[in-house]
Amino acid sequence: MTDSKRFGGKVTLVTGGAGNIGLATAQRLAASGSAIALLDLAGDKLDEAVRTVAAAGVTARGYGCDVTDAAGVQAVVDRVAADFGQIDFLFNNAGYQGAFAPVQDYPVEDFARVMTINVCGAFHVLRAVSRHMVARKFGRIVNTASMAGVGGPPNMAAYGASKFAIIGLTQTASKDLAPYNIRVNAISPAFMGPGFMWDRQVELQARVGSQYFSTDPKVVAEQMINSVPMRRYGDIKEIPGVVEFLLGDDSSYMTGVNLPIAGGIL
């Protein structure tokens, strides 16, 4: 249950806004009264996401954006600020999981792609949005990291490295922006499902054929779930409330923090 007036008058920018986590979080924040700017690659998914969020009765707009293009990101963020008059909150969520392979065989091109999207892309958005927040001396930012950035997973060199980087970026940005009344925190989901990302991870870990997982995807799924103290994967719907907490006043003395959403994995 959310307070429909909690974020009334606020504007939230969500990257990866047409994806599962981005859209679910945008809906949660809209239910609390925030206007929403959804950034994602232009297309039908973005258009549908905007319609879904707008159904909550708030202003919602979509912006086609490639986060790897620094100049393009700055232009889109400037347009969001002009369209809405301000940017109060940022959910910096766009990302790419990448290939699954042991480090000695990991494809060079994919490593670069993961780092460009997950690290450079997150930085581009953080930099552009924080400029507007600094000018107003107010802002709340949540970056999407991962438990892959807390304990490096096998066969995911690029994704793990990128999420370690996001946690470090969060900590540094929190110090740089604290003098301007801007808080910067991160979330780290672990195994989330059901859906495409869960199925993809299970199938590709099985395909690698490492000592860590079976070659049978059904067994891999059991192995992953059995590594979680709560013995289940997380629901996408268990993420937005944590983001809302970090954006709201209940976390007013928290910055530079990475919160696991991980069923007890530490």
pLDDT above 70 (res 109): yes
User: Pick the catalytic residue: 63, 96, 159, 233?
Assistant: 159
Check whether residue 179 and residue 70 sit in a common domain: yes
pLDDT above 60 (res 3): no
Residue at 61 is within a domain: yes
Check whether residue 227 and residue 253 sit in a common domain: no
Check whether residue 223 and residue 94 sit in a common domain: no
User: How many domains does the structure of the chain reveal?
Assistant: 2
Residue at 2 is within a domain: no
Check whether residue 155 and residue 204 sit in a common domain: no
Q: Tell if the pTM clears 0.95, that is, is over it.
A: yes
Reduced to 3 states (helix: H, G, I; strand: E, B; else coil), residue 120 is helix
Residue at 266 is within a domain: no
Residue at 81 is within a domain: yes
Residue at 210 is within a domain: yes
Per-residue pLDDT averaged across 54-80, rounded?
98
Task: Establish whether 106 is a catalytic residue.
Answer: no
The torsion angles phi and psi of 203, rounded to 5 degrees, stand at: -65, -40
Check whether residue 64 and residue 177 sit in a common domain: yes
Check whether residue 197 and residue 86 sit in a common domain: no
What CATH number did the domain enclosing 24 receive? Answer: 3.40.50.720
How far, in Å, CA of 248 to CA of 244, rounded? Answer: 6
Whole-number average pLDDT of the chain = 97
pLDDT above 90 (res 2): no
pLDDT above 60 (res 93): yes
**Structural domain containing residue 199:** 192-233
pLDDT above 70 (res 156): yes
Residue 258 · residue 186 · CB < 8 Å: yes
- 16: nearest Cα among 71, 78, 62: 62
Check whether residue 128 and residue 250 sit in a common domain: yes
Unique residue bearing structure tokens 């002009």: 82
**Res 1: pLDDT:** 46
Check whether residue 79 and residue 204 sit in a common domain: no
Instruction: Give the number of other CB atoms < 10 A from CB of residue 6.
Output: 17
**Res 5: pLDDT:** 82
Check whether residue 31 and residue 144 sit in a common domain: yes
Residue at 3 is within a domain: no
Check whether residue 213 and residue 253 sit in a common domain: no
Check whether residue 175 and residue 229 sit in a common domain: no
